[in-house]
Structure 1
Amino acid sequence: MKYSNHISSASSRRAPRKQHLAVACCMALALPMAASAQQAASSADPSVETLDAVKVTGIRAAIASAVETKNESTSIVEAISAEDIGKLPDISIADSISRLPGLTMQRVDGRAQVIHIRGMSEQFAGTLLNGREQVTTGDNRGVEFDQYPAELVSGVTVYKTPDASLVGQGLSGTVNMQTVRPLDFSERRIVFSGQGESNSLGDLTAGGDDKGYRVSASYIDQFANDTVGLAIGVARMNSPFQEKHYKSWWWANTDMWGTPQDGKPADAIALQGAEGWVKSRDMTRDGVMAVLEFKPSDTWHSVLDAYHSKFDQGEWMRGVMWTNDPWWNGGAADYSNVGTTDYHGTPVVTSGTLSGIQPLVRNDDNRRESKLDSFGWNNEFKLGAWTLGADASYSRAEIEESKLEAYAGMLGGVTTDFRIPLSPGYAHYALPDMSDPNAVYLSDPQSYGREARLEDSRQKDELKAFRLSVNRAVESSDFLRSWDAGFNYSKRTKSKSADVYFGLLRNDREPTLVDPSLLLAPTDLGFAGMGRVLTFNPRALLSRYYDVALNEDNNDLQKDAITEEQIKTFYFKANLDMDITDAVRLRGNAGVQYIRTEQTSQGVYFDPTGMHIGSAGASYGDILPSLNLVLDFGNGWNVRYGMAKELMRPRINDMGAYASVGLSDGSTGPRVWSGSGGNPSLEPYRANAIDLSIEKYFGVASYVALAGFYKNLDSYVYTRNIPWDFSGYDYTGAAPPSNLGEFSTPANGTGGYMRGVEVSTALGGDLINPALDGFGLLVNASYTESSIDPDGPDQGSSTDTFPGLSKIVANATVYYEKHGFSARVSQRYRDKYRGEYSSLFGQRVYRYTLSERTVDLQLGYDFPESSRLSGLSLLLQVNNVNNEPFRTEVSSGTHPDLFFPEEYTEYGRQYLLGFRYKL
């Protein structure tokens, strides 16, 4: 690995004149003064010229490559690089990306899945594979990164500032994943790897497993005098995930609504329902990557790449839940022996006895199969000063889900003693034995109107794109080195459909005991004091005990939708490079994009005459100028400035042509239209952004940086009541005097600012003292704040925050690598935030997620070349060493400024032990 400081011949003669800036950055990052002193000595030593010949391997090679990418880029970027083919430094790509400055991940079902950049949720980020926009297996735009095996990705670059040639960019940033290019290698490379995996929580319920494995193989070779290159990689993951979950439903003092609860002290807040469950998930992912590269001459370069992954997930959930609010079952639940705790001046029920509740025992069997395909063919032709490019790509995701839940419970009310903490943790409910096969019946204890529910859904996301580009080198200019121009066309179609079925017990829905031969070992909920619950496979019972029939309400029917976008992007970019003085070099780019968008959506709408299929859309254009400048002061000092207008297209769910509309009955005045639904005319989030970064590079793989950014979102999407023309909707009864009314829908409105500061460093221990050679440190931290209320100006709660915004995000990694041994300990921290999650029946909800601090550990050994085992590496990884729980909180229904514990879930530790062998 070679490293270059990108110092021009003029700049290399210049002594440092900005040492006060170095001190400021170093103080901000608490770097030892010894590092600065040693760097100063190196600058004065003529031997610094030998830096380009320094060769590093392993962890330091990956860091050096990432630092080099950051240094050489004209944009403000962050990067990660694999130590070698198939050797990214974390269990998943999402884990690796989330350690970069200003980035973090959101845990979904215990694993890193989506990425938040600079305090914005995954919906605001663009994601590319080899420079091409990707579809998603999620239900909106946010890409689920666990779909991409880390073993098949060679590196990732995150663009925090865009340039005009970056197509598919996001508003918060753009993530570009790269696969290998076989002609970048000088020889054949064959790699095998395998790991066994285990979860510390063990096997929590029947059907799941706590053991798994990961295997991969990669082949890279060159042919025909290095004019043809081939790379093929395959990876399979069979990964177990376990979950212990408790959730309090909602808190309120129902006395304030005129509905007291028997036995509850007057004006005390009480929990109105709870649930506890365990989940076991088995996830199997198969990934295949192939690259064919052809470069017969300096004139023509062609690359054909393909990627495929298939992700199968089986999930088994067993638990118990109930409501005890005063409206359920005529106020059947009551309290006795109540204990209260003063909570910010308000009494809250935290212990006692609850009688008359009817806990529902749930057995769920959820299955998901997702397929992702991505193909691209890039051709580049060099004709003198001209370089012509043509790129065609296709990306497709297909998802099928089946979610089945079946209910059981005791006949009549039960009594339980309880203790409820007011800090995050498991509550304790001394329920009776809910696993007794002679007392727990298939039934509808919570009066849902069914004894089972099945939802089968399908989703397809397809993107076709084609790009033409031209680059012209300019030899005659002192400042313009080249210019780029291009056109990109993309067509994206995303369709969703769902069928909902109710399972009703036969024999007039009479409660029924389960045949003992169909029962599985009871599931233990002792972590929440709930004892054991009846356990069975609901799919095995479905045809035996239930009549199953399609049963869909309006919300279910409105899940069926098709959204299409046709995007035409024209761009021009001037690439700048000049010497301002003998000591200062300026490089960068200035350009503009023009984006023309045509969007349509088809969906289900309801008017007073019934259900209909409708479609609508919009067309609009955006001009996006951008500027990126880098002042290179020599000796590794860079100052970067970025300025751009940015956009992110709206959430696909918000663009749906679904609606429910109606007319007032006219009893109090003229008949007036009103309604709610999606908005096919919705336009993007738009922002004006400014970025500034001050960076100092030293050593082979070390740097320090201080960066700040400001984004003014002049267009944000809120759900609002807006004037609407209801022409075309049918009605019954008397005609309304006007077709105008109000429609509640996502709509564009004014936004506010997002701003933040980021500090980061990569530091080799040898810069401090030769005795620390082999040690290294990676540290970054960011602070971000926003003035945007996502409910709209002067609307909603003052505690609502921008989705995904953690004000403080920090990462630290300490590593050691020498004599074949390697060790790495990483800690990731994010402050509390408002996360977006899938909820009941596939709906998306925001939840107040508390801070997280997770620790990961990796130990490895590479056998030396002199050994008979040369090429073999051993690796131990432990993910979530501290078993950090997932925690949320919820405000009280009667005291919105008081927050109470909501969810508390443990996922356990993941242990992986394995090998990697390179030929």
Structure 2
Amino acid sequence: MQTTLKSRASAGLLALLTVGWTPLFGQTTTPSESDKKNEEGVVTLDKLVVTGLRGSLTSAAEIKQSKMEIVDAIVASDIDKLPDINVSYALSRVPGVQLAHTFSGLGGNGAVTIRGLNQITNTLDGRQVLTPGGIANGTAGVGVGQRNFDYSQIPSALIAGIDVYKTAAANQIDGGLGGLVNVRMRKPFDFPDGFGGGATVGTSYSSLHRKNEQNYNVFGNATAKTDFGKIGLLVAVSDIATPWREDAIGIGNPIANTTVTTGVATALSSSGYNVSSSYGRFKTNGSNTVLEWEPNERWQFYVGYNPNKWRNTQDTMQFTTALTAANSVAGSGVMFDGSNTAVRAASFANVTGTAYGLIRDLQNKLDMVFAGGRFAEGDLTVLFDANRFKSSNRFHNNLVFASVTIPSLSYDLAGEIPSVRIGGVSLQDPSVYRLNQVNYRLFPSNSEGKAARIDAEYNIKRGFLSKIVGGMRYSTTTSDNYPTGLFLGSFTIPGTANQLSQYPGLWRPTPVQDFFAGYSQPQIPAYLAGDTAIMRDANAFYKAYGATNTPDTSATVNRLSLFDIEETTTAFYVMPQFSGTVGGYTVEGNFGLRAVQTKEDTNGFQGPNSASAVPLNLQSSYWNYLPSFNGRVRLNDHLFFRAAFSKTITRPNFGSLSPSLTLNANPVNPALNSGSQGNPDLKPIRGTNVDLSLEYYFNKSDLVYVAAFNKDVKGFIASFSEQRTYDGVTYVISTSRNLNPATIKGLEVGFQHFFSSLPAPFDGLGLQANYTYVDSSTPTTVTGAGTVTTPLTNLSKRSYNIVAMYEKGPVSARLAYNYRADFVTGFAYFVNAGLLSQTMLGYADLDASFNYSLTKNLQFALQGVNLTNKLRYQVYGTKMVPSNIYLDGRQVLASVTLRF
């Protein structure tokens, strides 16, 4: 099956930003005036409204310059939006950050990597959050019990900015092997006194789906000085929907085939030719409500609530074929020129085809409440915060399929896209199909977290040490897959009732009539597919096909698949900061130690089957000591040299720690029976990191920089498979274990400049460009090949961004080009081929935006995404052995904003 996760949200809206307060954990947000007097490392500007691209880049550059750590920032360019269409796109512009397309979209749980590692700490205003399930690590797999965060689920309209920390400090929350990403929300005291607000309405359109969706954002803020002190209230609401469609051609993995060719004993043919069209909409709902109160200069308090819900609905029509050496036409094979393995074209007889109708709906929910404040007296400042979040993920996958015999099939893999021809049957004739099975699948995943912390800093004001910072944090996080665990329900349709004519109205021609629009190569002709309209009501869906074991009446929980894990962490840190002159140069920075105790309480079941399973409880406790150093030297007023060293950890995913077992029987081909089981003995992954950076700031918005980094990682977690037998049935079980060290090293180069010295009207032109090189190696266990050294998956060696900008008067425009080179998504061992890497070939995105201010309070915006509409190719090492080809189409978004 092709998995599709859409994460193209529409434009971020209503983002008004002032300069950042460094609250808990050292991430940059927005200060009150009294905070600025006490915070080291904060950009100290007069209160201002950041408008336009130039304003956003100026603020981002000042954040980068002011911090002791190596940081890159994204700042909302106006009260209209982030500089990009959504959080994921914005992150993809940051040097050293890569995102994997989760098929047609960006984002996906764990799809963000910093310098090659997706094990990063994710925080929302400095408070750790996670998405417990969903598309895992930017791949087609569905995972539960995860620690990463899906940035698709936060409406970009609510966001003031994003900070990407590439080096660690003692006051940062531990758990980020690769770094930390903090998403900053707005707060009432970010704005001038009085009342302000705005509303945006817009529409988003998919050229491939040929459908549009309506969007809106509403924002209001009121701040006033009263007899009880300064009080502010902010409320923002966002509802954004984006339609999408993706067409895909899937080529089965290579198989040894000595029959199809003459005299080529090493020939490999494709094991299938599959087509699918998926379509739906991506919808994000969220709000941000914050109340702030400053009774006097010493005290400040706040309380807030951030709920959001993300939902992707997907309907898929799919047709697959099974091509074997046994049904290949002898001598019909044609080899690719110069290859003695890759069969370019071949013919087959009496092929089994399977038509599907299915839904794949994914939903994330996150609710967070928080409260805290600040106390400042003289040289002492104390920050305190407590929060609680609940996060859940639900993945529903319901389907029906029917088989048909195809007398003849020929494919040809040459050309821009492959082609296929069938003969001897009409796929629109219902009499040739035989129904097989109805499936209902549910993947639940839940998480709840509670955390409290207190941070104190004391200004020394004399000597080389400028400040002492210290604090503690206590948190508990639970993860489970209740109430059902992975639920795999099925109903096999009896032979006496397997004709489509017995189910009028439930099968129809696939509604997509322009498959791979713009390409002329022949594909699987129009076929019948199960109607998806009824599939979201699982019981009605089952009953429509005569099932007696509907999910409500006969669902049984496989206790072997259940897990419930509680993790408690207690962290203490001390971090002196220093500032002084050495050899005539200003030297600044921090050094510190973070000590954290982790306690795991793991619950599951163990046994040969669900009926005889017995409860299992495992407990563990361990300490980690994480030193860090961040220093910079001001070589002159414009030139900075930075050096950083740190030790970091990432704990295994909760699902990976679970002792529970999940079995997935394949009714069509028992050889494909699969399963998974966690490993409670997994240890945290540990990293030792060294970073260097040289930065030159021409002025507030213009800079050039180069950075180098090296990461040595021990205990990298990798999956492996083995055959096991349960109740007389054999399954291939995947699990994981800690492996030998991995190494990641690389280089970043960046440039940002507005050409203000050019004559009008060209003085509004600007350019932003960056390039990242990352090299990696790690041992990987592959069935059939043993342990081999490979690059990290989902990591391109090279990636770069080029952004052309124009801002003058009422016009603000941007053309952004993002490229990432080939990257490996997995490895497999094949007979006659050996170890092959499944590789996504390099691809680029071209996006554009145009904004025009009709008046001071009225703005029109137009954005385009994926303007070149290029194909994406996934291959087994070479294009002569393709795996998947994807076409996503363009998206256009238009909006009007009224401010008041």
Q: What TM-score, normalized to structure 1? A: 0.81
Map residues 727-876 of structure 1 onto 2, 5 A cutoff. 746-766=736-756, 772-791=762-781, 796=786, 800-835=790-825, 847-863=838-854, 869-876=855-862
Which residue pairs with 2:3 in the alignment? none
Worse-matched range after superposition: 385-394 or 529-538: 529-538
Matched, 1:425 2:389: no
Cα distance, 1:717 vs. partner?
2.2
1:620 to 611, 619, 622: 622
Distance 1:910 1:796, change over 3 A: farther
Q: CA deviation at 1:519?
A: 4.1
Contact 1:392 1:467 in 2 (8 A): yes
Are residue 341 (structure 1) and residue 340 (structure 2) matched? no
Q: 1:557 to 1:336 in 2, by over 3 A?
A: farther
Q: Which AA in structure 2 matches 1:862?
A: S
Deviation sequence 1:503-551 (CA, Å, 0-9, x none): 2225655444254444445333754511111134253653122325389
Q: Counterpart of 1:120 in 2: which secondary structure?
A: coil
1:871/1:493 Cα in 2 relative to 1: closer, same or farther (>3 Å)?
same
Deviation at 1:67, TM superposition (A): 0.5
- Residue 575 of structure 1 and its aligned partner are, at CA, apart by 1.5
Q: Does 1:163 align with 2:158?
A: no
SS in 2 for 1:63: helix
Task: Output the CA distance in 2 between the equivalents of 1:904 and 1:343.
Answer: 21
Q: Deviations over 1:390-417 (max 9, x none)?
A: 210112112223211101233x443223
SS in 1 for 2:613: strand
- Indicate yes or no: 2:56 matched with 1:71: no
Secondary structure of the residue aligned to 2:101 is strand
SS in 1 for 2:88: helix
Q: Evaluate the alpha carbon distance shift between residue 596 and residue 431 of structure 1 in structure 2; reply closer, same or farther with a 3 A threshold.
A: farther
1:278 alignment counterpart? 277
Q: What pairs with 1:637-648 in structure 2 (closer than 5 Å)?
A: 637-648=639-650
Given that residues 314 and 368 in structure 1 are in contact (C-alpha distance below 8 angstroms), is that contact kept between their aligned partners in structure 2? yes
SS of residue in 2 equivalent to 1:69: helix
1:381/1:388 contact within 8 Å kept: yes
For 1:568-587, list aligned pairs within 5 A. Answer: 568-581=570-583, 583-587=584-588
Structure 1, 650-659 or 77-86: larger mean CA deviation: 650-659
| Cross-structure match for 2:139 | none
C-alpha separation between the residues in 2 aligned to 1:791 and 1:254? Answer: 26
Contact 1:86 / 1:154 at 8 angstroms: preserved in 2? no
Farther off after superposition, 765-774 or 359-368? 765-774
TM-score (structure 2 length as normaliser): 0.83
In terms of Rg, which structure is larger?
1
Q: How far off is 1:368 after superposition?
A: 3.0
Aligned partner of 1:885 in structure 2 is 871
| Code of the aligned partner of 1:214 | N
Asked whether 1:191 is paired with 2:185, we answer no
CA deviation profile, 1:424-477 (whole Å, cap 9, x unmatched): 634333366655253243423xxxxxx1211123221111111122211212x2
Q: Distance in 2 between matches of 1:320 and 1:759?
A: 46
Q: Which residue is 1:287 aligned to?
A: 286
- Tell me the number of residue pairs that the alignment of Structure 1 and Structure 2 aligns: 801
Question: 1:164 Cα deviation (Å)?
Answer: 0.6
The structure-2 alpha-carbon separation of the partners of 1:277 and 1:294, relative to structure 1 and needing over 3 Å to count, comes to same
Q: Which residue of 2 aligns with 1:487?
A: 472
Deviation at 1:731, TM superposition (A): 13
Give the equivalent residue in structure 2 for 1:238. Answer: 241
Q: CA deviation at 1:271?
A: 0.8
**How far 1:302 moved relative to its partner?**
1.3
Name the counterpart of 1:436: 428
Distance of 2:46 and 2:453 partners within structure 1: 36
Residue 492 of structure 1 aligns with an amino acid whose one-letter code is T
Instruction: Judge conservation of contact 1:683–1:748 (CA < 8 Å) in 2.
Output: yes
Structure 2: distance between partners of 1:418 and 1:195 = 44
1:166 CA displacement = 0.8
Aligned to 1:901: 882
Q: Percent identity?
A: 22
Match of 1:470 in 2: 456
**Counterparts in 2 of 1:329-368, with a 5 A limit?**
331=326, 333-335=327-329, 338-342=332-336, 344-368=338-362
SS in 2 for 1:531: coil
- Which shifted more, 380-389 or 286-295? 380-389
Alpha carbons of 1:297 and 1:526: their partners in 2 closer, same or farther (altered >3 Å)? closer
Q: After superposition, what is the alpha-carbon deviation per residue over 1:267-291, rounded to whole angstroms, capped at 9, x for unaligned?
A: 4221111210101112222111111
**Aligned residue identity for 1:240:** P
CA contact (8 A) 1:70 1:79 kept: yes
1:498 aligned partner, one-letter code: L
RMSD between superposed Cα atoms in Å: 3.4
Query: Does residue 173 of the first structure (1) align with residue 179 of the second (2)?
Result: yes
Could you say which residue in structure 2 is the equivalent of 1:384? 378
CA shift in 2, pair 1:178/1:366, >3 Å: same
Alignment of 1:640-789 (within 5 A): 640-658=642-660, 677-719=677-719, 746-766=736-756, 772-789=762-779
Q: Which amino acid aligns with 1:501?
A: G
Native 8 Å contact 1:441 1:514 kept in 2: no
**CA distance 1:247–1:713, shift in 2 (3 Å):** same
Q: Distance in 1 between matches of 2:432 and 2:782?
A: 48
- Is the CA contact 2:560–2:607 (under 8 Å) kept in the aligned structure 1? no
Q: Which amino acid aligns with 1:166?
A: Q
Q: CA deviation at 1:349?
A: 2.9
Give the aligned partner of residue 416 of structure 1.
409
Partners of 1:849 and 1:796 in 2: CA distance: 23
Query: CA 1:3–1:511 in structure 2 vs 1: closer, same or farther (change >3 Å)?
Result: closer
In the alignment, what sits opposite 1:324?
Answer: 323
Once the two structures are overlaid, the 10-residue window that deviates more, 106-115 or 509-518, is 509-518
1:365 is displaced (CA, Å) by: 2.1
SS of corresponding position for 1:94: helix
Query: What is the identity, as a one-letter code, of the residue corresponding to 1:634?
Result: N
Provide the C-alpha distance between the structure 2 equivalents of 1:319 and 1:432, rounded to a whole number of angstroms. 20
5+ residue gaps, structure 2: 1-15, 20-44, 134-143, 517-521, 664-674, 828-835
Give the C-alpha shift of residue 142 in structure 1: 2.0
2:208 is the counterpart of 1:201:
yes
CA contact (8 A) 1:485 1:571 kept: yes
What is the distance in 1 between the residues matched to 2:571 and 2:490?
Answer: 47
**SS, match of residue 70 in structure 1:** helix
Distance between the aligned counterparts of 2:470 and 2:179, measured in 1?
Answer: 22
Deviation at 1:859, TM superposition (A): 1.0
| Cα separation, partners in 2 of 1:120 and 1:360, compared to 1, 3 Å | same
Deviations 1:829-871 (A, max 9, x none): 111113379xxxxxxx9952221211101111012xxxxx431
Q: Could you tell me how far apart the structure 2 residues matched to 1:315 and 1:3 are?
A: 39
CA contact (8 A) 1:753 1:788 kept: yes
1:543 is paired with a residue of what secondary structure? helix
2:493 aligned partner? 505
- The corresponding residue for 2:364 is 370
Preserved CA contact (<8 Å) 1:407 1:443: yes
Q: 1:264, 1:338 within 8 Å by CA — same for their partners in 2?
A: no
Q: What's the CA shift for 1:491? A: 0.9
Distance in 1 separating the partners of 2:654 and 2:162: 26
Indicate if the aligned counterparts of 1:58 and 1:84 stay in contact, CA closer than 8 A: yes
The answer as to whether partners of 2:209 and 2:244 remain within 8 angstroms in 1 is no
Q: 1:438 to 1:610 in 2, by over 3 A?
A: same
The secondary structure found in structure 2 opposite 1:457 is strand
